[in-house]
Structure 1
Amino acid sequence: MQVDFYHLTATPLDRALPQIAEKVVATGGRLLIVSASDDQRTALDRLLWTYTPESFLPHARAGGDADADQPILIAPDIAPANGARHVAIVDGQWRDEALGFDRAFHFFDDEAIREARLAWKALADRDGIERRYWKQDDSGKWEKAA
């Protein structure tokens, strides 16, 4: 199991998340996007339809009749009704339920850095978990820092 910590400094979530989502879907995977905030889930739903004119990321908000068919499902909690093996936690609040997936993407900004550090340390002693920390350089390019 792999956990990727993405510290959002130069690139906001609305640019970073679609890139990850595209890669997951392109490889035939499914993604569960998790946020406790209804406002954030609504914004992400709109974003995935419009983030670039030439792109399309098939998705839905959890709770519909076709949740199981969705390559990307936006949900308030970690319940992969779409059978996702990848989870993106986008509200900065780590959830240990993410450890049941093959890969977790934990996005956080400076406001949630304390919580992210606690999650990083808590995962250090767990067997079978590979942690990676991604930060941005001055131009916004992602660099693996740990």
Structure 2
Amino acid sequence: MQVDFYHLTSMPLERALPRIAERVLASGVRLLIVASGEAQRAALDRLLWEYAPDSFLPHAQLGEGDDTAQPILIAPDVNAANRARHIALVDGEWRDHALDFDRAFHFFDEERIGAARAAWKGLAGRDGVERRYWKQNDAGRWEQAA
């Protein structure tokens, strides 16, 4: 199980998440995106339709269609009704149920850095858990820092 911590500094979630989602889908697996706030889930729904003119990321919000058929499902909690094996926690809140997936992407900003550090430390030494920390360089590109 791999957990990737993405510290959002210069690139906002709205630019980082679609790139990750594209890579996940290109690898042939499904993605669950978790955000507790209804407004954030609605914004993510719009984002995945509109983030680039030539893009298409098939998705839906939990309960708005056949959840089992969705390559990307947006949900308020860890509910992989689409049988996703990858999860993106986008509201800055770590959830231990993410460890039931093959890979987790934990996005956080400066406001949530303390909670992210606690999650990082809490995962240290857990059997079968590989942690990676990604930060943005001055050019806005992701670099693995740990």
Q: TM-score range by the shorter chain?
A: over 0.9
Deviations 1:46-86 (A, max 9, x none): 00000000000000000133100000000000010000000
The whole-number CA distance in structure 2 between the counterparts of 1:65 and 1:46 is 16
Partner of residue 59, structure 1: 59
Q: Which moved more, 1:1-10 or 1:57-66?
A: 57-66
SS of the counterpart of 2:131? Answer: strand
TM-score, normalised with respect to structure 1: 0.99
Structure 1: tracts of 5 or more residues without a match: none
Tell me the amino acid that sits aligned with residue 5 of structure 1: F
Tell me the amino acid that sits aligned with residue 134 of structure 1: W
Partner of residue 34, structure 2: 34
The whole-number CA distance in structure 2 between the counterparts of 1:87 and 1:102 is 8
SS of the counterpart of 1:131? Answer: strand
Q: How many residues align?
A: 146
In percent, how many aligned pairs have the same letter?
Answer: 69
The whole-number CA distance in structure 1 between the counterparts of 2:75 and 2:65 is 14
Per the TM alignment, residue 3 of structure 1 is displaced from its structure 2 partner at its CA by 0.1
Partner of residue 21, structure 1: 21
Structure 1 vs Structure 2 CA RMSD? 0.5
